[in-house]
């Protein structure tokens, strides 16, 4: 008999209460998300944007759908197709950081999940800089609720949505009011946080209704610190009049006059809704819903076999992490990344038993899984999804000790293997180990043998030139597929390879290639000279940028700086001098990036035992003198820290 499976146990939701991203014009953003769903034949998932330089714009396929869907209204309102698309591309759905969109769509209105099309990118990828990446919306059933209202008078509601996106069209105020009431009801489950002195207040809109009804005084939603996360969205939606029961001004909320007699009954309905949503299903807390009722062999029959162990090694900055991202992580792969370090332990990696206080105040002890156990659990329960655990700097921690007995799991089968009537796909651990704590988390059965599932890969990176790090013994290394990442500029982005080092006219590729030839030729004075080369990604473009504020009269920056420093010490700085001193200090911070990162490495490490092989030691007696000379010189003179034969390689057209 065909019967339903057990209820799914969904992951806990991160309320993202600390995100600083803002989302202005929330009404316009919501309107466009609804319009795109309506015009694209109501999909479960919609890739709505594509890359355009550093920005995103509407996906090409969507453009014609939108134009056709709104054709009648646009013809009546004399909106050309080009003006329509241009106007919509200015929407915050394309302009805002993804984290702000996530807060609005996932946490406030629960309208859709927001993801990058490239799922290997972290949600915070747009947090720094102005670059935006293509995104997709995975809609919830709330969009169906909105559609059921819109479909009753489609043309009128489309006018409202188009007006909300910023176009000057006639819209029925009654339809607009209906849509606002509906969106308010959908937002009642949202949770916000503000700071009240030294404590945090976690609240919802129902908290505001109750406080207004109890005191009849305005409610402050500003808090004592900067608004973050959903609180920013709350202030935006209130300021745009998207809650018909509340009136907002300068951070304070009062009851909206038109609904002053209705808010009490509405608050009771909201309270009932929240209580119903919080109802506990008896027995659900003990149900492992992902695997309950599913036989082990059923999971293994559908499991993909992409799992492997790979260890990428090479000089620092050779592009190991870049290779992982571009060659091993697929668009739909689930990726977790962690970093080993000297204090990292087995307990951090696999898990540990910690005290836990139960609801009655009694102290119990509970196994808290580490990232390795957690990703094994997730991979086991989702057999058709590829999982990847990336361990950066694997030899900076004591890897054999961190893995402990689970390093045995790194032995993988090359062919399907049958054990106790279960056929495990190729890529599964060859041998199972006994660990009841891990087994309970992963399988819900402490007696189950633990194996790495075949859809989980473990990828490590290590620098070959690191000193004072742990070695990886042969027994550990043989369980990995080793791959040397060549230190070559073949795949380096041109913006880095061709970037000039400050004002020297020498590109990073020229400098790096020249120095690395000298490093390799220094074998007689240094063991493993090859490992001391500069990695092609050793620096970032920002480390090479020259700040024009460092240009000084008579090319004497150091002299000008000393004069200003003396005036500062004597208290004689004029306003103009104070501004100039600030500019010089800021410029020097940028100029110092390259020598403090690269030149210092060459002096202290690569040429530690024979600096005369690279540096002009007749005139440069210390690293301090080398750095000072480089920083306060200009153009080609910065490289006077090196021997004349080295400088002539940088500038073959002159004596340098």
Each residue's pLDDT tens digit, 493-507: 899 999 999 999 999
Give 35's pLDDT tier (boundaries 50, 70, 90): very high
Contact, 423 vs 434, CB < 8 A? no
Mean pLDDT of the chain: 86
C-alpha 460/C-alpha 476 separation (Å) is 12
Nearest to 292 by CA among 7, 490, 628: 7
The better pLDDT of the pair 250, 277 is held by 250
Q: pLDDT digit string (tens) for 558-567?
A: 888 888 889 8
Question: How confident is the model at residue 292, as a pLDDT?
Answer: 44
Q: What is the pLDDT of residue 287?
A: 42
Of the pLDDT bands very low, low, confident and very high (cuts 50, 70, 90), residue 471 is: confident
Q: Which band of pLDDT confidence, cut at 50, 70 and 90, is reported for residue 280?
A: low
pLDDT at position 319:
84
Residues 6 or more apart in contact with residue 253 via CB below 8 angstroms: 208, 212, 218, 219, 220, 221, 238, 246, 247
Token pair, residue 634, equals 């200009």
pLDDT band at 201 (very low <50, low <70, confident <90, very high): confident
- 476, burial (CB in 10 Å: exposed 0-12, middle 13-18, buried 19+): middle
Query: At 291, is the pLDDT very low, low, confident or very high (cuts 50, 70, 90)?
Result: very low
What burial class does residue 600 get, using C-beta atoms within 10 Å of its C-beta: 0-12 exposed, 13-18 middle, 19+ buried?
Answer: middle
Average pLDDT over residues 568-595: 90
612: left (phi over 0), alpha (psi -120 to 50) or beta: alpha
d(CA 109, CA 111) in angstroms, rounded, equals 5
User: In this model, does residue 167 exceed pLDDT 90?
Assistant: yes
161, pLDDT greater than 90:
yes
CATH 3.40.50.300 in the chain: give the residue spans: 296-484
C-alpha pair distances (Å), 76 with each of 57, 155, 169, 440, 584: 26, 12, 9, 64, 60
- CATH topology (fold) of 296-484: Rossmann fold (3.40.50)
Q: How confident is the model at residue 322 (pLDDT cuts 50, 70, 90)?
A: confident
Q: At residue 212, does pLDDT exceed 50? A: yes
Min mean pLDDT across 202-216, 267-281, 632-646 is at 267-281
Q: How confident is the model at residue 216 (pLDDT cuts 50, 70, 90)?
A: confident
Q: What is the pLDDT of residues 129-141, one digit of tens each?
A: 679 999 999 999 9
Which of 52, 59, 49 is CA-nearest to residue 101?
Answer: 49
Assess whether pLDDT exceeds 70 at residue 523: no
- pLDDT category at 294 given cuts 50, 70, 90 is very low
Separation between Cα atoms, residue 281 and residue 29, nearest integer Å: 36
Mean pLDDT within 471-477? 79
- Mean pLDDT along residues 118-122: 83
CA proximity to 252, closest of 220, 223, 278: 220
The pLDDT of residue 129 is 67
When pLDDT is cut at 50, 70 and 90, the band that residue 557 belongs to is confident
Question: Has residue 593 got a pLDDT over 90?
Answer: yes
pLDDT for 305: 85
Which tops the pLDDT comparison, 407 or 655? 407
* Residue 108 DSSP one-character state: I
Cβ-contact 143, 105 below 8 angstroms: no
Flag whether pLDDT at 263 surpasses 80: yes
Identify the pLDDT of residue 290.
45
As a whole number of angstroms, the distance between CA 88 and CA 166 comes to 8
Residue 528: pLDDT band with limits 50, 70, 90: low
17-21, 526-530, 595-599: range with highest mean pLDDT: 595-599
pLDDT of 23 reads 83
Task: Please provide the distance, in angstroms rounded to a whole number, between the alpha carbons at the two ends of the chain.
Answer: 86
Please determine, for residue 240, whether its predicted confidence score (pLDDT) is greater than 90.
yes
- From 438, 321, 343, select the one nearest 391 (Cα to Cα): 321
- Average pLDDT rounded to a whole number, residues 194-220: 88
Does residue 173 surpass a pLDDT of 70?
Answer: yes
3-class SS string, 462-502:
EECCCCCCCCCCHHHHCCCEEEECCCCCCCCCHHHHCCECC
Does the pTM exceed 0.85? no
Q: What is the pLDDT of residue 293?
A: 41
User: How confident is the model over 589-593, as a mean pLDDT?
Assistant: 92
Closest CA to 77 of 177, 150, 165: 165
Residue 283 predicted with pLDDT over 50: no
Going by C-alpha positions, the residue among 358, 23, 31, 70 that lies closest to residue 175 is 31
- Cβ pair 261, 176 in contact under 8 A: no
How many angstroms separate the CA atoms of 269 and 267, rounded?
Answer: 5
Please tell me which residue, 423 or 13, carries the higher pLDDT value.
423
Dihedral, CA of residue 614, residue 619, residue 625 and residue 631, to nearest 10:
-70
């Amino acid at each position: 008999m065909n019967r339903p499976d057990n209820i799914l146990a969904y992951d806990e939701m991160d309320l993202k209460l600390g995100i600083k991203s803002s989302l202005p014009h929330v009404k316009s953003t919501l309107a466009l998300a609804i319009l795109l769903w309506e015009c694209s034949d109501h999909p479960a998932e919609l890739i709505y944007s594509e890359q355009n330089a550093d920005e995103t714009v509407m996906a090409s396929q969507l453009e014609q759908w939108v134009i056709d869907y709104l054709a009648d209204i646009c013809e009546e309102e004399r909106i050309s197709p080009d003006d329509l698309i241009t106007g919509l591309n200015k929407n915050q759905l394309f302009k805002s950081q993804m984290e702000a969109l996530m807060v609005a769509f996932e946490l406030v209105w629960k309208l859709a999940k927001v993801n990058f099309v490239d799922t290997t990118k972290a949600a915070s990828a747009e947090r720094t800089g102005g670059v935006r990446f293509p995104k997709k919306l995975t809609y919830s059933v709330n969009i169906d609720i909105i559609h059921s209202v819109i479909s009753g008078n489609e043309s009128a509601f489309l006018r409202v949505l188009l007006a909300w996106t910023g176009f000057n069209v006639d819209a029925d105020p009654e339809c607009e009011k209906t849509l606002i009431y509906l969106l308010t009801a959908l937002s009642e489950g949202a949770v916000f946080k503000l700071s009240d002195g030294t404590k945090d207040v976690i609240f919802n809109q129902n908290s505001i209704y109750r406080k207004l009804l109890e005191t009849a005084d305005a409610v402050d939603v500003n808090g004592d610190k900067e608004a973050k996360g959903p609180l920013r969205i709350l202030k935006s939606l209130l300021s745009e009049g998207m809650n018909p029961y509340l009136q907002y001004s300068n951070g304070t909320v009062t009851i909206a006059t038109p609904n002053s007699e209705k808010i009490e009954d509405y608050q009771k309905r909201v309270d009932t809704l929240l209580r119903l949503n919080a109802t506990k299903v008896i027995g659900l807390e003990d149900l492992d819903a992902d695997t309950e009722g599913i036989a082990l062999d059923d999971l293994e029959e559908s499991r993909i076999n992409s799992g492997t162990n790979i260890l990428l090694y090479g000089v620092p900055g050779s592009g190991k992490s870049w290779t992982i991202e571009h060659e091993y992580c697929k668009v739909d792969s689930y990726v977790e990344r962690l970093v080993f370090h000297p204090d990292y332990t087995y307990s951090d990696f696999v898990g540990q038993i910690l005290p836990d206080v139960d609801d009655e105040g009694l102290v119990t002890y509970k196994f808290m899984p580490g990232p390795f156990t957690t990703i094994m659990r997730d991979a086991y329960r989702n057999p058709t999804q590829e999982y990847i655990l990336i361990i950066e700097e694997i030899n900076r921690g004591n890897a054999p000790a961190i893995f402990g007995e689970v390093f045995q799991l790194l032995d993988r089968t090359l062919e399907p293997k049958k054990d106790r009537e279960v056929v495990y796909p190729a890529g599964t651990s060859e041998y199972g180990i006994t660990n009841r704590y891990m087994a309970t988390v992963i399988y819900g059965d402490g007696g189950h043998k633990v194996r790495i599932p075949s859809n989980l890969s473990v990828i490590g990176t290590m620098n070959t030139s690191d000193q004072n790090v742990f070695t990886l013994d042969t027994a550990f290394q043989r369980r990995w597929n080793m791959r040397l990442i060549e230190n070559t500029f073949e795949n380096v982005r041109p913006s880095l390879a061709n970037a000039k080092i400050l004002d020297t006219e020498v590109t990073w590729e020229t400098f790096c290639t020249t120095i690395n030839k000298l490093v390799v030729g220094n074998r007689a004075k240094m063991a493993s000279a090859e490992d001391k080369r500069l990695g092609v990604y050793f620096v970032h473009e920002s480390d090479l940028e020259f700040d024009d504020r460092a240009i000084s009269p008579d090319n004497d920056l150091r002299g000008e700086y000393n004069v200003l420093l003396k005036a500062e010490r004597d208290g004689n700085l004029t306003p103009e001098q104070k501004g100039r001193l600030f500019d010089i200090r800021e410029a020097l911070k940028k100029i110092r990036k390259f020598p403090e990162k690269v030149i210092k490495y060459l002096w202290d490490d690569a040429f530690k035992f024979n600096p005369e092989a690279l540096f002009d030691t007749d005139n440069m007696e210390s690293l301090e003198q080398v750095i000072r000379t480089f920083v306060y010189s200009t153009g080609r003179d910065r490289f006077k820290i090196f021997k004349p034969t080295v400088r002539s390689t940088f500038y073959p057209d002159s004596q340098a």
